[in-house]
Each structure stands twice: as C-alpha cells, then as structure tokens.
Structure 1
Amino acid sequence: MKKFLLAYNPVSGDAMFKKKLDDIINQFQSRDCIIMPYRTKKESFDPFFANCVRNVNADGIIAAGGDGTLHKIINMTLKENLDVPVGIIPSGTSNDFASHLGIDAKFDEYINSIITGKTQYVDVGSIGDEYFINVISAGMMTGVAHEVDTRLKNTFGKLAYYFRGLGELPRFRGLDFTIEADGEIIKEKIFFVLVVNSPVVASFKNISMDAKINDGKLDMILLKQCNIPELMKIVADTVAGKTSFDNKNIIYKQASYFKFSCPDRVESDLDGELGPILPLEIHTISNKLKMFVL
C-alpha cells in the first residue's frame, strides 16, 4: 500500500483548500493509498518536514498550494536529500508550473499518475543554496507579488497582482544591468528581466515557447527601457500569447548560467517568493528533481 505526504498551505489561494482536504483524502483512499496531511509553516525551512517524510517512508510528496508552496516544498526536499518524487495539487493564487504540466484540466488522471508512479526528472535553477522551479525575476515590478495584501489576493486572485502592477507604471525607470549568459556579456538599461524554466509565467502561457523543463537550460527574457506606448504594446502581445523576441526592446537568450549585477539595490523574486539582493549567479541543475507527471 502506497503512502503519500500531502503538504498543504492553509492560507494559499482562497484559503479554502482545508474544505477540500477530505475529498482529496477520499480520492487516494478509494484507490487503496494512504494520504498523510502535513500543514506547512510560514518559515521557509522546517526540519520536521524531512523527519515526517523519512519516518513514514513516503512514496511521494504532494504540494497543495500555489507556486510559493511548491517552491518551499522543493527546497526542503532537495536540501534534505529526500529521494522521493514531488507532485502538485494546484490551489494557490498563481499555479504556473502546475498549469504547464496540465494538471488542472486532467486532475483525476493526474492522481492516477501519482499512484502508479509516473514520473519525470526536471531541471531546477539554483542561486547559492536556494532552488527555484519556474522563474526568477529582477528589476521593476519584482516586488509586486510581495506587496499585495493577502486578503486582496484571496478576494481578487491574480487580478490583485495585475492591479498592483499597473499602479507601478508611473514609477518605472531604467536600471543599469550587466548580465553574463554562458560567457556572453550584455550591458543594458532595463525595466526587468525574467529567467524561466517553463513557458508559463504569471498565468501567461507563452512567455517563451522554446522553454523546456528538461533541456538543461534556462530562458532569459530581458525588457529594455522603452517608452510607455512601446511597453504597453509588449504587455498586450504577452497577454495575447504573442510574445515576439524580434521586438527591438526584448533580448532573449538560452543559457545554463547567468550572472546579474546592478549598481542599484535590486531585489529578486524566486517563484513568487522574495529572493536575494543582486548581484547573483544562476545555475541550471539538469534533471535534479523527480516529479509526478501526466
């Protein structure tokens, strides 16, 4: 009989996952599996988590929450060298990596995949001793995800991020960035930069059509300083799923190593969570994490 640790975030998304917990447990028990709920804590690292996984001899870990919850679970899994696959039950405000895997549309099928052990190794990015699964960003707009009130996120969902982002536009200014991408040096005045693992970021599904989660590379999308009409055109194209890397204000690179530096104090964001201050070095770790997939 298989056993799974269900690590859920009690305040993720609309904070209603607790009411779905019994149904999730029933779905696994009806398939002759044991599901053990584990309530995640606010702290980024919880040593009790690894002890639970080892002591119950779990066949897998299931992260129930959004991208931030997945980020936390993956970091604890990798830092503690837990050799078990990770699955996702998307229930957060933002569920980009789960969306890329197609979990929402085929949830019952995905549960069967977890139980039967259908897995795939995927790449992760690393900055020092911190891992990220989907995206790192830096520049203007980076702080939006951390500044939106939890109550607004629970009420308006992803719209809360977009409203907050629009409010930042009048304060946009260019930042002098130096970027290294596998040895190539780029110096530009930019608004912001993304480095992505999957093509889904901020619920936009085609940020980078060439991005793959198991190719040993990450995809950088850099937005140069430009005027507001040019910026709004790029935003409109992105919303429509038509991001064009031929645009003169966008630089696109695939690489396994990046380095960002800027004379200003610039924060980074890892999977929607507050990241380190620049400068920073980003490494791709190929096939680092085993995940349950459809």
Structure 2
Amino acid sequence: MNRRVLIIVNPHAGKGMIKRYLCDVIDLFVKHQWQVSVVTTQAKGEATQLASDAALHYDLLVCSGGDGTLNEVVSGLVKDERHIPIGYLPAGTTNDFASSLQIPKNNLPAAAQQIIDGKGFLCDVGHFNDRIFMYVAAFGAFTEVSYSTPQDFKNNFGRAAYILEGIKSLTNIVTYHLKVECENELIEGDFIYGQISNSTSVGGFQAMSLKDVQLDDGLFELLLVHRPNNLLDLQTIIAALLTQDENSSWLVHRKLSKVKITCETPVPWTLDGEFGGNHQTMVIRNLPKAVEFIVRNEEQPLV
C-alpha cells in the first residue's frame, strides 16, 4: 500500500515560487510510491487545523511556505499533542529555519528529494505563554520589521527589504525596563531588544554563538541588548551585533531552558517573524524534541 502524504501550500508565500514547481514536487513523490494530496491555505491560521487533522490520516506532512506557515503547522501538532513527520519546502522570503535544518532554500525540487531520501530528526520548539514558536521569540528594535514590511516589498527586494525597514525603525527605538528571571539568576535593566532563539539564522542573518546552537539540546539562546545613551553607543551596539562580539558589555547572552520576563508596560513580541501580541508577563520554555522534521541524511550532498 502506498504511503500517504499531505502537502500544505501557502500559495502567497514569497513570490509564489511553489506555483512554478508544485507539479515537479508531486511527480517526485508519486515516483517514490507516495499517494499525494495537496491543499492550499486560504486564510491566516488555517494551516494549524489542517496539520492537526493530517496527523490522524497521513504518514507524512509537507509544509510549503515561509516561517509563518511552518509556525502554524508546528503549532497545530504540538497544541493537540499529535505526531507526524514534517517535511519543509521553504518558499517564503527569508526562510530562517530552513537554514538551521540545512534544507535547500532556492531549489524546491531538491528540497522535496531531500524529504524523500531523508531521515527523521526530533527538534525542540518553544512555548510562549499560550503560543508555540519554532525558532525565535523577539521584542524591540527591528522586530516589527517582518510584519510591517509590505509583502510585495519583501517579494521584490528579499532580505534587503528587512534591512531597509530596519534602518527606518532606528529612529523610533523604545526602551523596556525588564525583570528577566533565568535559572538561578535575576537580570534587571533597560533594554531595546531581546530574543530567545533556537536557530542558526534569525532574520536572514547568522546567529551569534553559532557553534553552540543545537536544535535538540533542550536549550534556547537568550540575547538582550542594553539601552544606548547616545548615537555613539548605538553605533557600538550595531557593530557588536554585526561582528558577533559576545564580550560586548552592551549585550547579555545566556543559554537556558526556561525564562520569565516581566515589564510594567505591555511589550509587543514577534514569534517566528509574525506578530505575537502585547504582553507584560512572558513565560517562555523549551519543549524538548517535540516535533519530528525530515532532514538530510549524511550521505546526501548539500545543495
């Protein structure tokens, strides 16, 4: 009996790249004795329920879209405690998590072949209050860029769109006075940016402490950026981020499995690049090896 695969497609992700390759992707799976079903999402959030239902009826779930679509798929499985291997066809603008999983980002047929020939990998995910995130929860400077940048602008200019929008946001930096309760440590201060991540790439840029990032170790990487006092301080902070200076006094780094962050005023957050709401109390914890991705076998060449 043929194995059954459901491909969830966000037809609007990126430049609609999947539309050009969908027949090739389906043909690859059929040639390898998969019975293929395809569904396109029609509204934001729809992939969450589709993924949860798919776990009951299919052997494999393939997500084609950007990081936001992948977040919806993972959320549907984790919240309903359902298990099914996930293959990812990255078709968004930045596709951060595809970099971490070593999935080809500009060659969807190659990514599909990697799913067919690949192996399962149990990966950590994040729990943010009542939400799920796949690779990053962030607040402050630059975080509004992903969801405030027009989709057409992102499609036409790609990663440059985020940079251009980010430069504009520097003139409106907001400071948050936070209490950050890590394991056996309390950090308190004024910060303009923070992120809790489980990825080698965030916003299309290589993560700091890259050598220490493991997607299945039960730990997040915490980064906090102190408030600058003047433009010179801000330039120093930007240089520290760009050069990945982990010894900079402007930056706070920790590895942790759980953190509680409180602020007297609501803080707007993004989860996997999408708006995650305004919160005064944030409890963020790692869910170890909560989902299974199909990744490259060591014998498979990098594409």
Same fold (TM over 0.5): yes
Supply the distance in 1 between the matched residues of 2:51 and 2:75 (Cα, whole angstroms). 11
Tell me, yes or no, if the aligned pair for 2:147 and 2:274 is still in contact at 8 Å.
Answer: yes
Q: 1:215 aligns with which of 210, 214, 217?
A: 217
2:231 is the counterpart of 1:228: yes
Q: Letter of the 1:229 partner, please give it.
A: L
Q: Structure 1 stretch 161-170 or stretch 116-125: which is displaced more?
A: 116-125
In structure 1, distance between residues paired with 2:36 and 2:192: 45
2:300 equivalent in structure 1: none
- Alignment coverage as a number of residue pairs: 290
Aligned to 1:82: 82
Normalised by the length of structure 2, the TM-score is 0.88
Aligned partner letter, 1:67: D
Q: CA RMSD in A?
A: 2.1
Question: Could you say which residue in structure 1 is the equivalent of 2:259?
Answer: 258
Please tell me whether the aligned partners of residues 125 and 282 of structure 1 are also in contact (alpha carbons under 8 angstroms): yes
1:61 alignment partner in structure 2: 61
The unaligned stretches of length 5 or more in structure 2 are: 297-303
Deviation track 1:107-147 (CA, whole Å, cap 9, x = no partner) reads: 66654453356101111110133211100001232222111
Deviations 1:152-197 (A, max 9, x none): 1121122212111100111224221111112311111111001111
> Where in structure 2 are the equivalents of 1:97-246 lying within 5 Å?
97-104=97-104, 111-116=112-117, 118-209=119-210, 210-226=212-228, 227-236=230-239, 238-239=241-242, 242-246=243-247
Q: Does structure 1 retain, via aligned residues, the 8 Å contact 2:178–2:188?
A: yes
Instruction: Indicate conservation of the 8 Å contact 1:64/1:91, yes or no.
Output: yes
> For 2:112 and 2:71, how far apart are their aligned partners in 1?
20
Residue in 2 that maps onto 1:273: 274
Post-superposition Cα deviations, 1:248-281, rounded to whole Å, max 9, x if no partner, equal 1000011111111222221111001111322210
Once residues 29 and 161 of structure 1 are traced to their aligned partners in structure 2, the CA distance between those partners, rounded to angstroms, is 38
Answer with 264-273 or 170-179: which moved more: 170-179
Q: Give the whole-Å Cα distance in 1 for the aligned partners of 2:186 and 2:43.
A: 38
Letter of the 2:264 partner, please give it.
Answer: P
Distance 1:41 1:216 in 2: 34
Change (3 A) 1:64 1:107: closer
Q: Identity over aligned residues, as a percent?
A: 27
Q: Is the 8 A contact 1:194 1:220 kept in 2?
A: yes
In structure 2, C-alpha distance between the alignment counterparts of 1:155 and 1:14, rounded to whole Å = 8
C-alpha displacement at 1:59, in angstroms? Answer: 1.5
In proportion to residue count, which structure has more strand? 2
Distance 1:207 1:231 in 2: 18
CA contact (8 A) 1:206 1:238 kept: no
Deviates more, 1:37-46 or 1:134-143: 37-46
Map of 2:12 onto structure 1: 11
The amino acid across from 1:77 in the alignment is L
Match of residue 26 from structure 1: 27
Give unmatched runs, 5+ long, in structure 1.
none
1:285 alignment counterpart = 287
Give the TM-score normalised by structure 1. 0.91
* Structure 2 residue matching 1:254: 3-state secondary structure: strand
| 1:178–1:260 contact (8 Å) kept in structure 2 | yes
Kept after mapping to 2: 8 A contact 1:201/1:207: no
